[in-house]
Structure 1
Amino acid sequence: MGEITLGQIVHSRAGRDKDRYFIVVGIVSSEYVLLADGNLRKIGNPKKKKVKHLVLHDSLALEIKERLKDGKKVLDADLRKCLQSMNLL
């Protein structure tokens, strides 16, 4: 399993959100990350999920990653737009 980073596109392989795509918006520890998609899971209330329950993709949401690193505000619409542009939402 590769290294997980902010802004990475992932999809869930377990739980009630199975097969949904998310963007990593926070890293809690080596086992847990915070996920949001701007639709079901908003940026204000991200989903805490174990990394072992995720499928990691090589795709990155670069604009989201830069905003998160700089501490700038990320909107739910930004997350939705990013996932829609990749035909994942």
Structure 2
Amino acid sequence: MDARPQIGQFVKVLRGKDEESYAVIIGIIDDKFVLIADGNKRRFDSPKKKNVLHLELQPAISQEVTNSLQDSGRVTNAKLRYVIQKFAYAKGE
């Protein structure tokens, strides 16, 4: 698994008020920072800038999110909520 974050990758937030929640990377700023959204508190239009060190990169990447971003440059909040819910359920959480 590539240690660098990728668009569409699931992350677990380790620091901050969203601690212990899951989100999806929707943008990469540089080596240190990414933009994450969960479609709920963090909408696609106002993603959270997070230090990669404060995230636990999950081995899964959502093709739905990746494809959506490649096709239209955006992804719906409903889709983000859906893929995160599915991912968390698959992990048994």
- For residues 31 and 22 of structure 1, the distance between their equivalents in structure 2, rounded to whole angstroms, comes to 17
Listed one character per residue, the Cα deviations across residues 14-62 of structure 1 (whole Å, up to 9, x for unaligned) are 1111111000000001100000000110000000000000001101111
Instruction: Identify the residue that residue 71 of structure 2 maps to in structure 1.
Output: 70
Superposed counterparts of 1:1-89, under 5 Å: 2-86=3-87, 87=89
- How high is the sequence identity, in percent, across the aligned residues? 35
Deviation at 1:72, TM superposition (A): 3.9
- Report the TM-score when normalising by structure 1: 0.91
Q: Which amino acid aligns with 1:78?
A: K
CA distance in 2, matches of 1:6, 1:81: 17
**CA distance in structure 2 between the aligned counterparts of 1:71 and 1:27, rounded to whole angstroms:** 17
Cα distance in structure 2, aligned partners of 1:72 and 1:16:
28
Structure 1's consecutive aligned runs of 4 or more residues displaced over 2 angstroms after TM superposition are 69-73
Structure 2: runs of 5 or more not aligned: none
RMSD: 1.7
